[in-house]
Amino acid sequence: MDLFARNEGERYLCGLIDGPCQTSDLDVFVQDPAHGAIAQFFGVVRNHNEGLSAAAVDYDVHPELALKALSELCLDVCSDYPVKLVMIHSRGLVRVGEASVVIAASSAHRKDALGAVSDAIDQLKIRVPIWKKEIGPDDEQRWLDGHSLRKD
Amino acid sequence: MIAITIHCLGAFRELGDCFIVEVSDVSVASIREAVSRHLVEINRSDLDGVLKRSVFAEGEELLKDHVTVSGHEVSLLPPVAGG
């Protein structure tokens, strides 16, 4: 089941969807007649990692915590930059060449949109409770290490 | 003793969707120690390093080790790796 959250002022939209993310029409969510720049980032599953071949990634998610973390992240980015922002992440199986995360930001001028997208993906990787199980071409599987959320 | 259900995420999915540990008090530190003992019992001490870098959550709240849980279920969140 897909899960989405958006704030009242419609500054941001974030969500989790089952399977790969669609990369088309993402800009529709952030279009604004006062904004002259739209920046987009697509995170795509690649066919290799740490010297090993990969065929797909299976994303495990804590839905409630991940949506909460995505919402807090969007709020932080929107407080740092005058942008409209959309962030969508996959859960479940995403194959090589398919997008697992898509982000778009619009702003009056390009610097803010580009900065917002860059910060958003950097922070997503260390704040949002999502885990990767990499699946190799012969169905071998391994969980990838990541960033600890532990604060004590 | 108090039974606590541990919901598994990420690398801990290899242990199943959940497992139960018993603790004498409901501090997160006690739950962490009980999970560590459980890993030894099931010959999965290889996950102890991941456990040390993991955080427990109750509902939508991430828990520090000095706090106590109010219910009998927690999620075990290993280091995150989205993107």
Interface contact A8, partner B, CB < 8 A: no
This prediction has a pTM of 0.95
Write the DSSP string, B14-83. GG-SEEEEEESS-BHHHHHHHHHHHHHHTT-GGGHHHHHT-EEEETTEEE-TTSB-SSSEEEEE--B---
- The CATH T-level fold of domain A3-21+29-143 is Aldehyde Oxidoreductase; domain 3 (3.90.1170)
What confidence tens digit (pLDDT) does each residue in A76-93 have?
A: 999 999 999 999 999 999
Quick check: B81 and A151 CB within 8 A? no
**Residue of chain A minimizing CA distance to B50:** A145
Quick check: A143 and B10 CB within 8 A? yes
Interface contact A89, partner B, CB < 8 A: yes
Interface contact B43, partner A, CB < 8 A: no
Quick check: B80 and A127 CB within 8 A? yes
Contacts of A133 (CB under 8 A, 6+ apart): A57, A58, A59, A60, A141, A142, A143, A144, B10, B13
Kindly indicate whether the ipTM for this predicted assembly is greater than 0.90, answering yes or no.
Answer: yes
Q: What domains can be seen in chain B, in order of their start residue? A: 2-77 (3.10.20.90)
Chain B: nearest CA to A35, how far in angstroms? Answer: 27
Residue A68 with chain B: CB contacts under 8 Å: 60
Residue ranges per structural domain of chain A: 3-21+29-143
Nearest to B12 by CA among B77, B59, B70, B56: B77
Interface contact B71, partner A, CB < 8 A: no
Quick check: B13 and A148 CB within 8 A? no
Interface of A with B in 16-45 (CB under 8 A): 43
Interface contact B49, partner A, CB < 8 A: no
What confidence tens digit (pLDDT) does each residue in B23-80 have?
A: 999 999 999 999 999 999 999 999 999 999 999 999 999 999 999 999 999 999 999 9
**Residue of chain A minimizing CA distance to B78:** A148
Q: Is A50 left (phi over 0), alpha (psi -120 to 50) or beta?
A: left
* Structure token pair of residue A108: 């009056």
pLDDT tens per residue, chain A (152 residues)? Answer: 788 888 767 899 999 999 999 999 999 999 999 999 999 999 999 999 999 999 999 999 999 999 999 999 999 999 999 999 999 999 999 999 999 999 999 999 999 999 999 999 999 999 999 999 999 999 999 999 999 999 98
Helix/strand/coil (H/E/C) assignment for every residue in A77-141: HHHHCCCEEEEEEEEEEEECCCEEEEEEEEECCHHHHHHHHHHHHHHHHHHCCEEEEEECCCCCE
Interface contact B13, partner A, CB < 8 A: yes
* Structure token pair of residue B78: 């290993």
Quick check: A150 and B53 CB within 8 A? yes
Q: What is the pLDDT of residue A8?
A: 64
